[in-house]
Amino acid sequence: MLVVAAAPSAYSFDPATTALVVIDMQRDFIEPGGFGEALGNDVSRLAAIVPTVRELIAWCRSRGIRVLHTREGHRPDLTDCPPAKRRRGAPKARIGDAGPMGRILVDGEPGNDIVPELRPEPEEPVIVKPGKGAFWATPLEGMLRDAGVTHLVLAGVTTEVCVQTTMREANDRGYECLLIEDATESYFPEFKRATLEMIRAQGGIVGWTAPLAALRAAR
């Protein structure tokens, strides 16, 4: 067992029954010309965590921890995208519209791919999810159960939307979850701060948080 100096208390895990889930580190959210920018956001905030996420992935790989990746993406005919989701907000371009990197948030388009710096290894699963959470309408839960995973380390974007939703879904399914604070980010700094506080409130009602340095120092 490894023990991490986390908040609100120490987080213990066995690498053999732990998986890292890297959430939505895809071009549509992180690079100029994607959906994130179409929503009017400064994507450089998200791009800034790419080196930290890369270090986290390398650390997990070196210790035999399973690594899984997710992408938020929809079928080309958008049959898995509820009209209410597509209508939401007032972006310059909506899900399915043509953008500089292909159709926005459509599976198979260049913008929907994971950023090159974090390219998955051939044996690492990539779960394409139509919703915010990584468990809804995906095979993720079955994959984790089959592998005997009981603990999850989480990273990715955005903290308050897809990351938090996935962490709450995992918590409801009995997984012990640790979010790496500097390997997640939001377009809105105050949203990230609030999410971290919510996760570890009331003795860790959703889970634990810790910086990458604390994970790397785990003994």
Interatomic CA distance for residues 82 and 91, integer angstroms: 17
Judge residue 18's burial from the number of C-beta atoms within 10 Å of its C-beta, 0-12 exposed, 13-18 middle, 19 or more buried: buried
Catalytic residue, candidates 60, 81, 162, 177: 162
Residue 107 is a catalytic residue:
no
Catalytic residue, candidates 81, 129, 177, 192: 129
In one-letter notation, the amino acid at residue 208 is W
Contact 79, 124 (CB under 8 A): no
Interatomic CA distance for residues 73 and 130, integer angstroms: 6
Q: Hey, is 149 helix, strand or coil?
A: coil
For residue 47 the two structure tokens come to 């791009």
Residue 192 is a catalytic residue:
no
Contact 21, 153 (CB under 8 A): yes
Q: Hey, which residues does 71 pair with through a beta bridge?
A: 128
Residues 6+ positions from 123 with CB-CB distance below 8 Å: none
Residue 24 is a catalytic residue:
yes
User: Which residues are marked as active site?
Assistant: 24, 129, 162
